[in-house]
Structure 1
Amino acid sequence: MSDQSTDGRKPDDEILQVQAGGRQFSDEELQDLVASSDAGARAPTNQSVALLISGLALLWSLFQLWIAQPQLWFGQYLPVLNASQTRPIHLTFAIVLAFLAYPAFKKSPRGHVPIYDWVLALIGGGCAAYVFLFSDTLALTARSGLPTQTQIIIGSIGIVVLLEAARRALGPALTIVCSLFLLYAYMGQGWLIPDLISHEGLSFNAIVNAQWLDTAGVFGIPLGVSTAFVFLFVLFGSMLDKAGAGNYFIKLAFAGLGHLRGGPAKAAVVGSAMTGLISGSSIANVVTTGTFTIPLMKRVGFTSEQAGAVEVASSVNGQLMPPVMGAAAFLMVEFIGIPYITVIKHAFIPAVISYIALVYIVHLEALKKDMPALGESKSFLGMIIKFVVGFAVFGAAFTALIYVVRYLQANMAGASSAIMMTALLVLYALLVWVSSRRPDLEVDNPNDKVVVIPTVAEVYPTGLHYILPILVLVWFLMVEQQSPAKSAFYATSLMLFIIVTQKPLKALFRGRSDFGAQISEGIVDLKDGLIAGARNMIGIGVATAAAGIIVATVTKTPIGTELAGLVEQLSGGILIVMLVLVGLFSLILGMGLPTTANYIVVSSLMASVVVSLGAQEGLIVPLIAAHLFVFYFGIMADVTPPVGLASFAAAAVSGGDPIKTGFTAFFYSMRTVALPFLFIYNPALILYGVDLGTTAGILQAIWIFVLATFAMLLFAAATQGYFLAKSRFYESAALLVVALTMFLPNVWLDTFQSPFDELPPSEFVEAVEAAGPGDRLRLRIAGPDLDTGETAETTLLMNVDADGDAQSRIDALGLILIEDGDALNLDEPAFGSSAGESLADFDFYGDDPVQIVSVQRPADRWPKEIFYIPALLLFLAVVMLQRRRQTKPAF
């Protein structure tokens, strides 16, 4: 976010306050901190240079809006660019702005752009623009395997300059990692490279061709996602924030929660969750909400480190919250090949229960310290009931709207769009009129002697029109199921209209005479929002381009296919050990990488490893669960010392010690650490296999949500050592057992009863014949590994989706059976089939055959829910023990 994009607050105190354990920064320094990390710290004093940087940022935003929706009326008059043309232009803007906006070093000048930065900006932008200008020539030469010497020179210079741009915008970590991957691709072998992933090495020309001149390296999928999706969502968030939605969300959170015990901390969590809807930056979230919430948390009894840690935990979790998710959601769409709405479906429950648990954690901290409320105390349970009722009312209204729109589309197809557009504009005008009846929200000073917390009734009418573009985004994503780019375009277009018109309309409704001046103000806000959105994208643009180097290296060398063997050796083939190793790997990488780049790196290397090793243990791990696993741990790197950037930002606000803040935040974030392991072993937590298109599926999702929320609250109470009263160690252990039982009842059931009946391979055809639609069979496959020749095993899941004879069902899977007495051998599966993809690592032409060694079908056994009974009895026992020591209400 830019230095003016958080809430427009002016510095209240230029004096730096020094407190025990750390220094509390002024507002001006905090805004500079955000600018340094998100938008570039350089602010040229030369007006012409400043206008040039702003003009380039503005032009970039306009370019992205143009390519987002070329089929509008002007599409027939302006050229329509394809992906191979838009990506180089996108990177050209990012590289040029990176050198103009980010100083080379901490001591480099910020007031002017040195000559070497101008040179680097022109060279880097020229190398990227070359790919656009000469795309036809590249198609006939480099992309056909015949690069010219000139192209190699341009490509090699482009790679070096890109890595320098990434170092400036993101720190040295990504540049170092990309350089190591380039060295590995070139050298192939050496004393630092294990034999398992060694190769002959690629030529210099081949590396440059693959990385810069082709469409799979720098200009590959990650940059394509940044170009097509991410920019629009970042711009949407920037415009919302510029319009005043950020301050509105914070005020609304405080109005609803500020009166409770530890209210400022609870408001920080909820405010950060709402801010996370429009921001993909954990550091910006910390500074935006933390400058107000952290001082108030300290006022009611939180230490500097605890206040900072609460803000860190809640702000970092903002990247888990759909729809933005720090840009990772859009990358998952491309990497996994599933619709965007499916990613949101899988990510929603873990994100929400994580936030609910964090609210509960700060509530427990408030109870432990007997913290007062700010103002008249209100009931936490009453607030929860009001929230549930409000959510139910909103859900019913949204459902009714769906039926109304469907009726219009069915009966008035030609006029339905015009009617809906008119209704939206009328609703917008009505909401602005409601807002104009009340004073505009001011930014509060948390250091005031008396803090007046408004009521929800006073706050919510002032910004209801900010909800409209969010609803439009959700509508097109979830109801119309349009692409993320088109949905973001429509939402952003409405936001552009709102930011220009809200002030003039308020002036009109209030009967003021400065209507023209308010129009000018709206246009200035629009310009500033477009510029801020583009500047916020500089780091993401160069990060996704640089991460493409890693993706291309993975595809061009054995590291992508052989890393599974290396991790298997380190973990001893034990899935839980391997998951811990992957989590640690993600944390270590993420200490210096932004979340998006970290996700690209780790998912490229590790996501398929999690799936394949899980299959070897007989556990079917959905690919989306593996991707969410590495994403969660990448996010935790923003918290974890010694390089947790969000923790340092929070310490700058609170004046606390950044290392202590980081450790406290990690402790508060234990639920976020536990969740990835839980949905690997129980994919139902991410609604995998749950059909939300049916009533039964919706009811199942509600049941999963309620159960997971209850379990996560108990997990939080166990890790915090407090429930109704301070917990003894055995009570915490009991609560932990209850929580894990609620999350993973199958662990206990599998201990007493085998989940599958084992059948010999000779009965495979009969088992397929007897299976009904919707049944699942699991096949244990063994055979020689394609690379090592050693015997490998995996598990293949066979979904019986339709009626038919056994052979047609087997053909649908892609298996080709060869009977050999009692043995059942396999020929190479049909190309492009699901079996072909799952068994790609087997050698079907070796001396030893690939065989089905066993067939497993679900056993008829107890329902797993039976273990909820002893768990609930254990829970009641803890309640009875703690009730005797309880001295204050639990809610």
Structure 2
Amino acid sequence: MQENNINMDEFLAKYDRESDYRRLRGTSGIAVAVLATAFSLFQLYTALFGVLDAQLQRAVHLSFGLALVYLLYPTRKSWSRSRLHWFDLLLAVLAVIAPLYIVINYKELVLRAGMNNSTDIVVGALGIIFVIEAARRVVGWPIITVAMLFITYAFAGPYLPGAFAHQGVSVESLVGHLFYTTEGIFGIPLGVSSTFIFLFILFGAYLEKTGLGKFFIDLANSIAGWASGGPAKVAVLSSGLMGTVSGSSVGNVAGTGSLTIPMMKKLGYRPEFAGAVEAAASTGGQLMPPIMGAAAFLMAEFVGTPYINIVKAAAVPALLYFTGIWIGVHLEAKRTGLKGIPREELPRVKTILAERGHLALPLIGIIYLLVSGRSPMQAALWAIALAILASILRKSTRISFADILKGLEEGARSALGVIIACATAGIIIGVVTKTGLGLSLGSTLIDLAGGLLLPTLFFTMITSIILGMGVPTTANYVITSTIAAPILVKMGVPVLAAHMFVFYFGIIADVTPPVALAAFAGAGIAGADPMRTGIQASKLAIAAFLIPYIFILSPSLLLIDTTLPKVLLMMTTSLIGMTAVAGAVSGYLMTNTKWVDRILLFVGGLMMIDPNLITDLVGVSLLAVAVTIQWLRARKLAVQA
């Protein structure tokens, strides 16, 4: 068992930079564990008894985060992963000085109201540098490159031509803005991270301790394992369920894929397809309510709406997304003649629910708390307690006191990537607000699109996907919601729909070649070619490329100013359209398709997706022709057989 754990650690470290951390032993390991536990206890204490003033809360939060990053992530890849290097210990001590400077001198800084002295500027500049270096260690070079480009833009303003020119800023002014206001590093992203995002990550750590992931996989097996291509459908269902508690595409692939991918290969699926199914489904986990990853909580703050409204808006699109993958899996199973697992080899639903059904109580509880009007922080806090209490109900699922302490440690460590991504994204936001870059980029993008909505959506989609290939979902959403979403709003798109649009495409980058981390992780487990797996995953996730356009053209899909009949009608036409597009992409519907069938299915499917009577009629007509051709061909083949 230990050997498997070590292999999984190595696997995650290869595909997920956040997982490439030290596993310290001895005194240093104990010291870091104590620090991480203290971090979680601080977050729990402020959640229970009230958070500190905004900048104080965020400064303490960042202090813990920076210290742990420099202790757990080595300066050089070649350095030991089991021992702490003296240089990293020194950097960990120095890194916390800058945010603690704010804590210690908070009253004086407030009284000076932005009149920073030379000491403030030096400390602030060092703080910015330490945040950027922490981002290199735990997040990677792409986000640093983006941040440095924005900082360069701040200084280069007077020398730039056209709409991008600005007066420029001094070093003192920029450092003061980025480090001593709540519009830079200590802005909204870090504010959300320092309150309820951390608690939801801690909640996820305890759910993993209870064995909820294994429960989801067994439940999915019992429900769908017997169907055509059963293990692939199990992967879709279990990954969707796991997505309610996991905000990491790669982590989800590793967690469920280590079981589902071998099952799919054993049944007869090609390695590339097996890895792609898990990647597409796991990526969709960040779209699945009630817990959708850190970016969804940021969306609630940026849009200015309760988090439960984000959950409601995401419900129907998430259902369509996973249905689209399910359809693709089903068509592939039919095309290749793959059967399911015999029912007698599968666990029974009643048995699973009787033995471990209580593990789902925390999820039910958190939905109830959110719906009843509790804040996300309160809901997460009570859900953590409920997760621990639910595990106690049966001896087989009971977690020990040692597991509770370990959960505190692992929750803090799991939050580091989000903390640093939020802090680094704050640098980017700070430059945008200081220079007015958002307006310049907005007007340029609208001019490039000719003032038309669909081209603007297309350019926004490309921007989000490119950013998502190297920048974590959280930072990606922060950047695109700051720059691109306001453009869509200016063109008449509802605020929530605009933000959900960039959110979707930032996530789908995880399965979009050439840099498709979730697909590459799936390929690693399946022993498949990474690029082919990525292409296949993009085909399976085709729904994710279509759904955002649907809810932009008709925001009622997000339950905005709509009625139940209208939503049901839109879901029906969207499902028909996605089934047709999936048939065109997979090359199979009722039988193998030819190029004429594919064109009719693809164009007809796209027509059905646009919520308009004329396009629906054209789409139905094209699909009727395609289905008739398919039916006649299938009947002919049946007669010949």
Q: Which residue of 1 aligns with 2:537?
A: 665
Q: Given that residues 725 and 887 in structure 1 are in contact (C-alpha distance below 8 angstroms), is that contact kept between their aligned partners in structure 2?
A: no
Q: CA deviation at 1:625?
A: 1.5
Partner SS state of residue 188, structure 1? helix
- More helix per residue: 1 or 2? 2
User: Is 2:577 the partner of 1:711?
Assistant: yes
1:266-285 equivalent positions in 2, closer than 5 A: 266-285=233-252
The C-alpha deviation readout for 1:602-655, integer Å capped at 9, x for no partner, is 11111111232xx3xxxx311211111111111122112232221221122111
Query: Could you say which structure has the larger radius of gyration?
Result: 1
Structure 2: state its 5+ residue gaps: none
Change in Cα spacing, 1:168 to 1:257, as seen in structure 2 (3 Å) is: same
Q: Given that residues 226 and 541 in structure 1 are in contact (C-alpha distance below 8 angstroms), is that contact kept between their aligned partners in structure 2?
A: yes
User: Is 2:506 the partner of 1:506?
Assistant: no
Q: Which residue of 1 aligns with 2:45?
A: 66
1:472-511 equivalent positions in 2, closer than 5 A: 472-478=365-371, 480-499=372-391, 501-502=392-393, 505-506=394-395
User: Is 2:475 the partner of 1:597?
Assistant: yes
The C-alpha deviation readout for 1:2-59, integer Å capped at 9, x for no partner, is xxxxxxx543599xxxxxxxxxxx445325447x6335520123x1110111111111
Partner SS state of residue 297, structure 1? helix
Aligned partner letter, 2:258: T
Q: CA deviation at 1:99?
A: 0.7
Matching residue within 175, 185, 192 for 2:144: 175
Q: CA deviation at 1:265?
A: 0.7
Q: Which residue of 1 aligns with 2:263?
A: 296
Looking at structure 2, the residues matched to 734 and 229 of structure 1 have their Cα atoms a distance apart, in angstroms, of 48
Matching residue within 504, 521, 543 for 1:649: 521
Number of matched pairs = 639
Q: Which residue of 1 aligns with 2:433?
A: 555
Q: Given that residues 236 and 488 in structure 1 are in contact (C-alpha distance below 8 angstroms), is that contact kept between their aligned partners in structure 2?
A: yes
Matching residue within 110, 123, 135 for 2:106: 135
1:573-592 equivalent positions in 2, closer than 5 A: 573-592=451-470
Looking at structure 1, the residues matched to 23 and 116 of structure 2 have their Cα atoms a distance apart, in angstroms, of 40
Q: Given that residues 725 and 885 in structure 1 are in contact (C-alpha distance below 8 angstroms), is that contact kept between their aligned partners in structure 2?
A: no
Q: CA deviation at 1:307?
A: 0.9
Matching residue within 59, 65, 71 for 1:94: 65
Q: Given that residues 306 and 664 in structure 1 are in contact (C-alpha distance below 8 angstroms), is that contact kept between their aligned partners in structure 2?
A: yes
Looking at structure 2, the residues matched to 570 and 107 of structure 1 have their Cα atoms a distance apart, in angstroms, of 46
Q: Given that residues 568 and 574 in structure 1 are in contact (C-alpha distance below 8 angstroms), is that contact kept between their aligned partners in structure 2?
A: yes
The C-alpha deviation readout for 1:555-585, integer Å capped at 9, x for no partner, is 1112111212211233233332222222111
Q: Which residue of 1 aligns with 2:346?
A: 453
Q: Given that residues 279 and 537 in structure 2 are in contact (C-alpha distance below 8 angstroms), is that contact kept between their aligned partners in structure 1?
A: yes
Aligned partner letter, 1:627: H
Partner SS state of residue 11, structure 1? helix
Worse-matched range after superposition: 633-642 or 544-553: 633-642
Aligned partner letter, 2:542: M
Partner SS state of residue 288, structure 1? helix
Matching residue within 464, 467, 470 for 2:363: 470
Looking at structure 2, the residues matched to 872 and 689 of structure 1 have their Cα atoms a distance apart, in angstroms, of 30
1:182-581 equivalent positions in 2, closer than 5 A: 182-190=151-159, 193-376=160-343, 452-478=345-371, 480-499=372-391, 501-502=392-393, 505-506=394-395, 522-581=400-459
Looking at structure 2, the residues matched to 704 and 464 of structure 1 have their Cα atoms a distance apart, in angstroms, of 34
Q: Given that residues 651 and 657 in structure 1 are in contact (C-alpha distance below 8 angstroms), is that contact kept between their aligned partners in structure 2?
A: yes
The C-alpha deviation readout for 1:349-405, integer Å capped at 9, x for no partner, is 11111101101111111111111322259xxxxxxxxxxxxxxxxxxxxxxxxxxxx
Q: Given that residues 324 and 540 in structure 2 are in contact (C-alpha distance below 8 angstroms), is that contact kept between their aligned partners in structure 1?
A: no
1:696-735 equivalent positions in 2, closer than 5 A: 697-735=563-601
Q: Given that residues 603 and 619 in structure 2 are in contact (C-alpha distance below 8 angstroms), is that contact kept between their aligned partners in structure 1?
A: no
Q: CA deviation at 1:688?
A: 1.9
Looking at structure 2, the residues matched to 283 and 700 of structure 1 have their Cα atoms a distance apart, in angstroms, of 36
Worse-matched range after superposition: 322-331 or 875-884: 875-884
Matching residue within 94, 101, 117 for 2:88: 117
Looking at structure 2, the residues matched to 636 and 886 of structure 1 have their Cα atoms a distance apart, in angstroms, of 38
Change in Cα spacing, 1:29 to 1:744, as seen in structure 2 (3 Å) is: same
Q: Which residue of 2 aligns with 1:401?
A: none
Looking at structure 2, the residues matched to 210 and 13 of structure 1 have their Cα atoms a distance apart, in angstroms, of 45
Matching residue within 55, 75, 80 for 1:104: 75
Aligned partner letter, 2:415: M
User: Is 2:28 the partner of 1:49?
Assistant: yes
The C-alpha deviation readout for 1:854-877, integer Å capped at 9, x for no partner, is xxxxxxxxxxx7778747755763
Aligned partner letter, 2:359: Y
Q: Which residue of 2 aligns with 1:163?
A: 132
What's the C-alpha RMSD, in Å, of the aligned pairs?
Answer: 2.3
Looking at structure 2, the residues matched to 737 and 687 of structure 1 have their Cα atoms a distance apart, in angstroms, of 27
Q: Which residue of 2 aligns with 1:637?
A: 509
Looking at structure 2, the residues matched to 362 and 566 of structure 1 have their Cα atoms a distance apart, in angstroms, of 41
Q: Which residue of 2 aligns with 1:884?
A: 635
Q: CA deviation at 1:339?
A: 1.8
Q: Which residue of 1 aligns with 2:56?
A: 85
Looking at structure 1, the residues matched to 272 and 623 of structure 2 have their Cα atoms a distance apart, in angstroms, of 35
Q: Which residue of 1 aligns with 2:606?
A: 740
Looking at structure 1, the residues matched to 191 and 130 of structure 2 have their Cα atoms a distance apart, in angstroms, of 20
Q: Given that residues 8 and 254 in structure 2 are in contact (C-alpha distance below 8 angstroms), is that contact kept between their aligned partners in structure 1?
A: no
Looking at structure 1, the residues matched to 565 and 402 of structure 2 have their Cα atoms a distance apart, in angstroms, of 48
Matching residue within 29, 41, 60 for 2:10: 29
Partner SS state of residue 91, structure 2? helix
Looking at structure 1, the residues matched to 540 and 158 of structure 2 have their Cα atoms a distance apart, in angstroms, of 43
Q: Given that residues 682 and 743 in structure 1 are in contact (C-alpha distance below 8 angstroms), is that contact kept between their aligned partners in structure 2?
A: no
Aligned partner letter, 1:89: V
Structure 1: state its 5+ residue gaps: 1-8, 15-25, 72-79, 378-451, 508-517, 691-696, 750-864
Aligned partner letter, 1:118: L
Higher RCO structure (Cα 8 Å, ≥6 apart): 2
Looking at structure 2, the residues matched to 577 and 700 of structure 1 have their Cα atoms a distance apart, in angstroms, of 27
Looking at structure 2, the residues matched to 64 and 882 of structure 1 have their Cα atoms a distance apart, in angstroms, of 63
Partner SS state of residue 884, structure 1? helix
Change in Cα spacing, 1:361 to 1:557, as seen in structure 2 (3 Å) is: same
TM-score by length of 1: 0.69
The C-alpha deviation readout for 1:331-360, integer Å capped at 9, x for no partner, is 111111122122112211111111011011
Q: Given that residues 734 and 878 in structure 1 are in contact (C-alpha distance below 8 angstroms), is that contact kept between their aligned partners in structure 2?
A: no
Partner SS state of residue 280, structure 1? coil
Partner SS state of residue 400, structure 2? helix
Looking at structure 2, the residues matched to 323 and 463 of structure 1 have their Cα atoms a distance apart, in angstroms, of 20
Q: CA deviation at 1:194?
A: 4.5
Q: Given that residues 189 and 195 in structure 1 are in contact (C-alpha distance below 8 angstroms), is that contact kept between their aligned partners in structure 2?
A: no
Looking at structure 2, the residues matched to 68 and 881 of structure 1 have their Cα atoms a distance apart, in angstroms, of 64
TM-score by length of 2: 0.94
Q: Given that residues 68 and 489 in structure 1 are in contact (C-alpha distance below 8 angstroms), is that contact kept between their aligned partners in structure 2?
A: yes
Aligned partner letter, 2:129: V
